[in-house]
Amino acid sequence: MEIAAPQHRPLTVRKAPMFELLKPMPADPLLQIITAHRADPREDKIDLGVGVYRDEAGHTPVMRAVKAAEKILVGEQPSKGYLGIVGDPIFTDLLRPIIFGAERGDAELIPAVQTPGGGGALRLGAELIATARPSAKLWLGTPSWPNHRPIFEAVGVEVREYAFADLHKQELLFDPMMDALSEASAGDVVLLHGCCHNPTGLDLDHAQWEAVADLCARNGLVPFVDLAYQGLGENLEADAAGFRTIFDKVPELLLAYSCDKNFGLYRERTGALYVKAPNNELARNVASNLAVHARVSWSMPPDHGAAVVRKILEDADLTSDWRAELSDMAQRIHAVRSAIASAAEPLAPIARQHGLFSNLAVSTAQVDALRKEYGIYIAPSGRMNVMGLRIEDAPRLADALTSVGVIPKQ
Ligand SMILES: Cc1ncc(COP(=O)(O)O)c(C=O)c1O
């Protein structure tokens, strides 16, 4: 008997139904700088485009206390079991006195979630805002960290921008900022950089924090403070002072915290979101909403960075070594800033700014000329990471900025 061969009907495959709908996205301008810098054979090239701290030798070091804590962890960590949705509460609790000071930071009123970096904390906070008050607008001073706007837009929060800085004068536009914020409605959110403003290095002074805090309190605005560089400006206490001023005056507030810079943990994605609620019942409500948002975003946070921070903060010797090294880093930032400021009079404001970044007023042609003619790489926006500079190169930077016309001739 003959067995009929199986019938192979040709399969008709539908035309690609999905990805051809995608529009190409522009490449990150910073990645382009990194690539161009790598390909540049000049030995004296200067990379001011990077986003991380660098030491005198141009390295981004693993901090001593971090190395020591990692060694201990490798030896004694009993399990790699999941952490749980909110992460390790001991990690977020150990950070409380550093962030809030000894007298604040009540865990009942301020629920916390460990997040993948400060970026994760911002996203989680944005999700909470979009759920709690979908009509809330986010008020954002510009320029700001380029990720701020898209993070809030990604969850459907409307962003209102106002001018925060005059880059030509290297000054805060404080009165216009207050005018803009006085247009905000009750329940709107005000994003504030806790310290070391990225990209301008321009921080509010004490009186300005007080004024913003009063405005938020009076008009029912909810501050969302992004504290990504605590300890890299003046010191841990001073860098949290503005945040604490505003914390004390308003009933509701969000804080996105990063340990990626002040513990040098960048790739370990270590951060937390703290949310101040007006009473315990609302705090529990906030906590349960945060848990749901975290669950559907990353489910549970990565552990390693937070475990390292916990190890350090549980050990007095490691804590004091971490504080000492962080303070050395802040001093080095000041030293580089002073060197730039002394190299040319128009650069003097740079010494009064804080953190890794300053933002010069530049044209695309000037950025290109700096790169092509002088091997100096800065972001197309004019943001420069001052830590990409060796102190002895400050006069070279000033000369190049003068010759391409970014700063006037003396
Ligand atoms: C102002 C600001 N906020 C948040 C972040 C995000 O920090 P992380 O790397 O911890 O996600 C950064 C990182 O560059 C930043 O500059």
**Domain boundaries in the chain?**
27-62+318-403, 82-314
Q: Which residues line ligand 1 (CB under 6 A)?
A: 51, 117-119, 145, 193, 198, 226, 228, 258, 260, 271
Distance 6 CA to ligand 1 centre (A): 60
Distance between CA 333 and CA 335 in Å, rounded?
5
Distance 118 CA to ligand 1 centre (A): 5
Distance 114 CA to ligand 1 centre (A): 15
To test the pocket of ligand 1, the residue of 145, 149, 191 to mutate (highest count of ligand atoms within 8 Å of its CB) is: 145
Q: Whose CA is nearest to atom 7 of ligand 1?
A: 118
To test the pocket of ligand 1, the residue of 123, 254, 258 to mutate (highest count of ligand atoms within 8 Å of its CB) is: 258
Q: What is the pLDDT of residue 29?
A: 81
Residue 58 φ/ψ region, left for φ over 0, alpha for ψ in the -120 to 50 degree band, beta for the rest: left
CATH topology of domain 27-62+318-403: Aspartate Aminotransferase, domain 1 (3.90.1150)
Ligand 1 atom with minimal separation from the 270 CA: 10
User: Which class would CATH give 82-314?
Assistant: alpha beta
Regions of the chain where pLDDT drops below 70 = 1-6
Ligand 1 atom with minimal separation from the 144 CA: 1
Output the CA torsion 226→228→229→231 (10° steps): 80
Q: Check if 261 is active-site.
A: yes
Per-residue pLDDT tens for 31-75? Answer: 888 899 999 999 999 999 988 999 999 999 999 999 999 999 999
Give pTM, 2 decimals.
Answer: 0.95
Q: What is the pLDDT of residue 125?
A: 98
Q: What is the pLDDT of residue 2?
A: 65
At 388, give phi and psi (nearest 5°).
-80, -5
Q: What is the pLDDT of residue 9?
A: 85
Q: Check if 88 is active-site.
A: no
Q: What is the pLDDT of residue 1?
A: 60
Q: From the candidates 47, 188, 203, 226, which is the catalytic residue? A: 226
Distance between CA 252 and CA 246 in Å, rounded?
10
Q: What is the pLDDT of residue 27?
A: 85
Q: From the candidates 145, 188, 203, 322, which is the catalytic residue? A: 145
